[in-house]
Amino acid sequence: MTFDINILSLKDILDILLVAFLLYKTYKLMKSSGSINIFIGILVFIVIWVIVSQVLQMRLLGSIFDKLVSVGVIALIVLFQDEIRHFLLTLGSRHRSSSFFRFLKGNKKDTTDKEDIMPIVMACLNMSKGKVGALIVIERSLPLDEVVRTGDIIDANINQRLIENIFFKNSPLHDGAMVISNKRIKAAGCILPVSHNLNIPKELGLRHRAALGISQETDAMTIIVSEETGGISIAYKGEFYLKLTAEELERMLTNDSDSQN
């Protein structure tokens, strides 16, 4: 009997911890997508609902709230379709990038090798010095086919001079983003989804917003070279890593980026 009670309490603790973890993850996801006020609104609604129907046991108001909650699930799915999609994509990509799945796929890593990274780093440094704006998306485990389709296909080896040439001010492909996938420059002039996060600093414009946007929807790592300041930044998994030095940029691109989180 005592044994049963112990198992039950352990299960309860696990249950509470899992709910807390789920709430924390939802909070983080909503904060990064700029919808934190909706999250707080939902929490306030749940608290009022519990007080009205459980604590005060007001039957009429309670039943109205009960009806709202049952319809609310559908409303939430519609309201948060982007966030839910991102959550499921991240869940899928985590599994796909696990060592077991990599073993099944037969490749070592999803990240780009060092010899492919150096031309990107050198090109970014040169563009930074010359204040040439650039936006480079490096695909990881989630395919970027949708984004590639919005630009012009290049399909060339990663080459420092080619990268610099594409982003050179008068080049026809300098506008938009370059996509690097499977160790090749796949496309340029691509259009990225723009993030609607309200917490992005005012001085960061559309180029940075677009980089954050793709980092919220996929696990790609995006390098931004600012045309205004020459600063090099990275957007990855909904976070900015601003004003990077050459060493930091190289380290972020070389390391398995999951260790950064």
Ligand X SMILES: Nc1ncnc2c1ncn2[C@@H]1O[C@H](COP(=O)(O)OP(=O)(O)OP(=O)(O)O)[C@@H](O)[C@H]1O
Residues that bind ligand X (CB under 6 A): 133, 135, 175-177, 191-192, 194, 204-208, 210, 226-228
- Residue closer to ligand X (CB basis): 171 or 254: 171
- Residue closer to ligand X (CB basis): 97 or 226: 226
Least Å from the CB of residue 192 to ligand X? 4
Task: Write out the DSSP string of 88-99.
Answer: HHHHHHHHHTSH
**Amino acid in the structure at residue 183:** K
Least Å from the CB of residue 228 to ligand X? 4
- Residue closer to ligand X (CB basis): 150 or 260: 150
| Residue sitting closest to ligand X (CB) | 205
- Residue closer to ligand X (CB basis): 75 or 206: 206
Least Å from the CB of residue 112 to ligand X? 21
Least Å from the CB of residue 214 to ligand X? 8
Task: Write out the DSSP string of 101-119.
Answer: HHHHHT-S-SSPPHHHHHH
Nearest-5° Cα angle at 208, 193 to 77:
35
Nearest to 38 by CA among 72, 89, 85, 88: 72
